[in-house]
Amino acid sequence: MMKQKNTINNTRRSFVVIGIITFMFFVLFFRLGYLMIVKKSFLVAKAESQTSYQQTIAPKRGSILDTNGDLLATSGDVYKVSLDLEEVHNYALIKGGKDTERIKETLDDISSNFAQILGKDKDEVRKFLEQTNKEGAYLRGIPLARKVEKDKIDKIKKLRDSKKYNFVLIENDTNRYYPNNNFLAQVLGGVDLDGKGVFGLEQYYNKDLTGVPGISITEVDRKSQKLPYSDQVFTQAINGKDLTTTIDSRIQYVAEKIAEKAMVDKKPKSVRIIVTNPKTGEILAMVNKPDFNPNEPNKGVTDSKQFAQITRNGVVSDAFEPGSTFKIVTMSAALEEGKTFRDDQFFDPGYAIVDGHRIDCWKHDGHGAENLVDLLKNSCNPGFIELGRRVGKEKMNEYISKFGFGKTTGIDFPGETTGIVKSTEKVSNMDLATISFGQTDAASMVQLIGAINAILNNGVYTTPHFLKNLSEVDANGNRKIVSTYEEKNSRQVISQKTANTMAGFLEETVSKGSGKLAYLDGYGVAGKTGTAEKANIGGKGYDPKNVVASFIGGAPYNDPKISLLIAIDSPEGVEHMGGEVAAPLAHDLFQQIFNAIGFDPSKK
């Protein structure tokens, strides 16, 4: 009986043991299945991250060139040095063991070595090594230095190898360089620390200039040292495309010097110039003064507001009431609609009455009897009020739109303003009168140059633009053009007959009228001056002493090579009108441009 009881107990004990073993087997089986199936991707990735080293290979940013291939912006090969701070402290622990003083000495030694090579303060580097995240863990792979030259990188590599610094990460970096300093500053723009375009052409064409990063993945040991004979995954970086612009450095240089002289002589708030080819819309020069050095964009800048102001390309981004330069649109509309003709007769008593309100001409005693051309030559406000009345607000706004006002031109540049055009239903008789001679509506310099280009180009509109082409260099060093500029906004704004008539009128305005100080014998300069009074603060009325003096024109008028617009904001002195201030600058600019490009109208 006793023996039978012991046998039963042994059998039960065996079942319990077998049950426990079976249970543990199933637990291990399901755990293994969970790790092999459910967690496979995670564990594989973790294992690879611990046994491989991945490095991004930064592409070289494309260069920006002028139309003749001269360098305007380029990138030099520099490097970024980053440290894995967790590994820095692991290294110190291994070196120092449990001796806290030796650990401290090791960290001090690391700081001193990097500070000496990089020209940094030792204490700053030591402080850098102690950076942690919110959980208190040391940061990994953070930059210690950017834009490091190759000679210093060679020293760091030598230090890394000799000291077995497995925590050092060296990556390609780029340093943007503008060889001509302030030259074309607001147009070229700039990049941030990561080489990304943040304003100007650098921003607009950032995607093309940037390129595609490459990648290098190498197997490493537990000390992050590269394993011999290991396979390497390598994808070559694709460098950015080179941007060839329409800018002609010879013309840009001349325009820069003219603007600099005006800043000294007239002490205005700003001087802005744009020069184009009226037949194609190609921008040959663009100047904003005051300017800055894009190699040191923050030099002398105290805050972000000042930075935004000094780097702003006002030729594209700012709108102002254009004044008398806008009269070219009013007269073009009146001619095209058959509301006037060359020998049409007018009389200016010195003012016009609109809905009971008196609007004075700039010449208070009036111009007396005039024909149509005289209105333009004399820049007679009452005469243009009459032309505007004949055209009517609906047709006037129709031509304003055709000429490109009230909307973006499509220029390849960020931050373009649409200007201000009052909607037809809100235009009163008084508004129509002031719009006709260049007040109420506001326009950018790009819009205005587009308008006169249409007149000089047989009535056909061309978009002002910077792009000539984008190109790349292949593996054999051969340059290949991958895309060129395509005109998308071309349209017939006015007939060729009206355009050619207007071009002739504008030539007479310079040779015999208010633009005579821009006259250049034998070159057929056509143009119109403007003196736009700026609105008083608060928007009530205008300040006759606070003006934008301007000149817009082209030459030769019957076969134009260039067109230009000069705007001088708030010039000091008694002489402040466009015919007094801007026209003489236009004369010098035309003359020096034609000398620079070797154009002589007497030689066919």
- The residues assigned a catalytic role are 324
Q: Is 254 exposed, middle or buried (0-12, 13-18, 19+ CB in 10 A)?
A: buried
Rounded to whole angstroms, the Cα distance separating 549 from 287 reads 16
Instruction: Please report which residue ranges of 344-461 form alpha helices under DSSP H.
Output: 372-378, 381-391, 393-402, 429-436, 445-456
Among 144, 101, 139, 97, CA closest to 122: 144
Please give the sequence-ordered ranges of beta strands (E in DSSP) within 127-258, or none if there are none: 142-148, 168-177, 190-191, 197-199, 214-219, 232-235, 242-245
Please give the sequence-ordered ranges of beta strands (E in DSSP) within 209-265, or none if there are none: 214-219, 232-235, 242-245
Sign of the four-CA dihedral 451, 455, 460, 466: negative
Task: Specify which residues 529 forms β-bridges with.
Answer: 551
Task: Specify which residues 274 forms β-bridges with.
Answer: 286, 565
- How many CB atoms lie under 10 A from the CB of residue 557? 24
Longest dimension (CA), the chain: 147
- C-alpha 226 chain-centroid distance: 43
Query: Are β-strands 542-555 and 526-535 bridged in parallel, bridged antiparallel, or unpaired?
Result: antiparallel
Q: What is the token pair recorded at 61? A: 């940013």
Among 382, 348, 344, CA closest to 365: 348
In the three-class reduction of DSSP (H, G, I as helix; E, B as strand; rest coil), residue 37 is classed as helix
Q: What is the token pair recorded at 560? A: 């134009």
Among 55, 56, 57, 62, CA closest to 211: 62
In the three-class reduction of DSSP (H, G, I as helix; E, B as strand; rest coil), residue 333 is classed as helix
Rounded to whole angstroms, the Cα distance separating 195 from 474 reads 22
Among 156, 183, 158, 159, CA closest to 171: 156
Cα→Cα distances 479→471, 474, 476, 482, Å: 7, 6, 9, 9
Rounded to whole angstroms, the Cα distance separating 488 from 485 reads 9
Rounded to whole angstroms, the Cα distance separating 311 from 178 reads 15
Sorted by sequence, the CB contacts under 8 Å of residue 196 that are 6+ apart come out as: 206, 210
Rounded to whole angstroms, the Cα distance separating 143 from 154 reads 17
DSSP string, 265-321: HH--SEEEEEEE-TTT-BEEEEEEES---TTSTTTT--SHHHHHHHT--HHHH--B-
Rounded to whole angstroms, the Cα distance separating 438 from 328 reads 10
